[in-house]
Amino acid sequence: MTRRWVTYTAAAVLLLVLGAIMVVQFAGYQDRQDQREAEQKAATLHAAFAEIGITAFDEETIARVLGSDGGGFCTDPAALVDATANLGSTNGAAGPGIRPSVLDERRLAGDRLVIETYCPDQLEAFDDYVDSLRLDDTTTQPGSQPAPEEAP
C-alpha cells in the first residue's frame, strides 16, 4: 500500500510540474505572437505616417505603446480624439486667454491611420466625429461658429 501511495504521489507531482511548464511555455508563445503582431502593425503605421509627412516615433516605441490591439487609443477613440483635438487646438493659455488655434489636419489624418490600423471597426465613428468638426481657416473647435462675414 505504501508503494502505491508513493507512486501515485510521484505521478501527480510530475503531472503538475509538466502542466506548469506547459502553461509557462504557452504564455510565452502567446506573448511572442502578440509581439510579432504589434511589430507588424507598428511598421505599417510608421510607414503610413511617413507617407503623409508625419514624423513619428520609431517602430519599437509605437509597438510598446499601442501593442497589438491599439491600447488606450482603441478603448474609446472618440473620447481620446475629442480630448486631444480640444487640447491640441488651443493656444496653450489658461483662463480668459485661451482661444482656438488652427489644428493641423495631418494630426487628424494620423489619428485616422491609427484607428485604421489598430481598430478599423471604429473608423466610421471616428469619421463621424471629424465630420462634426467645423474645420475652417480659423478654428477646429467642435460646434464653433465660423467667423462672421463682413458686409460690403
**DSSP conformation class of 95:** G
pLDDT tops 70 at residue 98: no
Band of pLDDT at residue 14, cut at 50, 70 and 90: very high
pLDDT tops 70 at residue 85: no
| Grid cell listed for 96 | 480668459
pLDDT at 148 (0 to 100): 47
Contact 76, 57 (CB under 8 A): no
Highest mean pLDDT among 41-45, 87-91, 125-129: 41-45
| Grid cell listed for 84 | 486631444
The CA-based angle 30-35-40, given to 5 degrees, is 130
Q: How far is CA 115 from CA 4, 7, 23, 43, 100, in A?
A: 61, 57, 33, 15, 25
pLDDT at 25 (0 to 100): 76
Task: State the pTM of this model.
Answer: 0.59
Contact 87, 95 (CB under 8 A): no
Contact 80, 73 (CB under 8 A): yes
Mean local confidence (pLDDT), 124-147: 62
pLDDT tops 80 at residue 28: no
Phi and psi torsions of 94, nearest 5°: -115, 155
DSSP string for residues in 65-76: HHTTTTHHHHHS
How far is residue 36's CA from residue 32's CA, in Å, rounded to a whole number? Answer: 6
Contact 73, 119 (CB under 8 A): yes
| Grid cell listed for 71 | 491600447
pLDDT tops 80 at residue 35: yes
Band of pLDDT at residue 13, cut at 50, 70 and 90: very high
How far is residue 38's CA from residue 74's CA, in Å, rounded to a whole number? Answer: 14
pLDDT at 17 (0 to 100): 92
